[in-house]
Amino acid sequence: MSMRLGMVFPGQGAQSVGMMDALDAEFTQVQARFSAASEVLGFDLWALVHAGPSEILNQTANTQPALLAASVATWDIWCALGGAQPALMAGHSFGEYSALVCAGALEFEAAVALVAARGQFMQEAVAPGVGGMAAVLGLDADALTAVCLEATRDAGLVECANLNAPGQVVLSGTVAGVARAGELAKAAGAKKIIPLAVSVPAHCALMTPAAVRYATRVSAVEFKAPRVPVIHNVDVQPHDLAADIRAALVAQLSHSVRWQETMAEFARQGLTHIGECGPGKVLGPLVKRGAPGVEAFTLGTPDDLRAALNILES
């Protein structure tokens, strides 16, 4: 069977202080992307990623440009090393922007400015301490949808935000709503509820004010047809027209990330390997669960890159 590659790009949660140090020690592409991003942002993004502090890096408005620069630099290195070109791309949540840049649909500098604004709008949509997110393990999405409806009636808005893999769903909403949904999910048989350390309740209706502001901001940005199809989170479809890409990005702010279906689509299209292009190792396990039989590998360190090149050449 011939090799057919997909490339996926991580979203928030993959960041850590020092996440690009090993690649930076070997490859000039890291500084090239980070200095371009710093120029757009007006502060030294590399200093923040290299030295922290992590509480500043973990603020949504900083996390998004940092992961964008990291993922795109990793893609640059992959291409420079002669890595195989993918047949499909996708990004988890905000990682969709990294995918669009690497697919040639969006200029890097424009993306940096866009995601900084996106992060800021998200941060400002909900006052600190009002919203929360939690991962629920061991309960399916249908059961959790019913749980969310009941918890919203009882305590406050909560929705299924990330449909990551069978038995792994992330909830998002008000702190009280998420807490109540956690109790109901436990009673319904969930194995584990893991509160997430996030500053913003993403991918739920609380982000509607951010989506309204963002729609105006994104309308001024130029998009081209991607060279590689990018499967979008909101509708599990690729889009070529700028208006459709913009609409998908706006809707993504307040709608679920349909990652399990995205991985199923990758498998359906005959992909044999999926590379995680960026820091961390968040998406690999989701590939294994959402697309069994497809081989996943990471590209976060020089050793990872060399191992991946060997896998694909063998």
Is 256 part of the annotated catalytic residue set?
Answer: no
Structural domains of the chain ordered from first start: 5-125+206-313 (3.40.366.10), 131-198 (3.30.70.250)
Residue-wise pLDDT tens digits, 82-98? 999 999 999 999 999 99
Residue-wise pLDDT tens digits, 263-284? 999 999 999 999 999 998 989 8
Which pLDDT band, with edges at 50, 70 and 90, does 311 fall under? confident
Does residue 44 carry a pLDDT above 70?
A: yes
The CA dihedral of 101, 248, 199, 56, to the nearest 10 degrees, is: 20
Amino acid at 159: E
DSSP for residue 85 = P
Q: Is 208 exposed, middle or buried (0-12, 13-18, 19+ CB in 10 A)?
A: exposed
* Amino acid 160: pLDDT: 98
Is 203 part of the annotated catalytic residue set?
Answer: yes
Q: At what angle are helices 108-125 and 208-218 packed, to 10 degrees?
A: 150
| Average pLDDT of the chain, as a whole number | 95
Contacts of 179 (CB under 8 A, 6+ apart): 132, 155
d(CA 256, CA 56) in angstroms, rounded, equals 26
* Amino acid 1: pLDDT: 52
Q: Which of 174, 78, 98, 71 is nearest to 129 (CA)?
A: 174
* Cα–Cα–Cα angle for 299, 303, 306, rounded to 5 degrees: 75
d(CA 93, CA 236) in angstroms, rounded, equals 12
Residues of the chain with pLDDT > 70, as a percent, come to 99
d(CA 192, CA 87) in angstroms, rounded, equals 36
Catalytic-role residue among 38, 71, 93, 98 = 93
Residue 255 has phi, psi (to 5 degrees) of: -125, 165
Report the 10 Å Cβ neighbour count for 292: 10
Catalytic-role residue among 203, 232, 239, 255 = 203
Q: Which residue has the higher pLDDT, 165 or 2?
A: 165
Which pLDDT band, with edges at 50, 70 and 90, does 224 fall under? very high
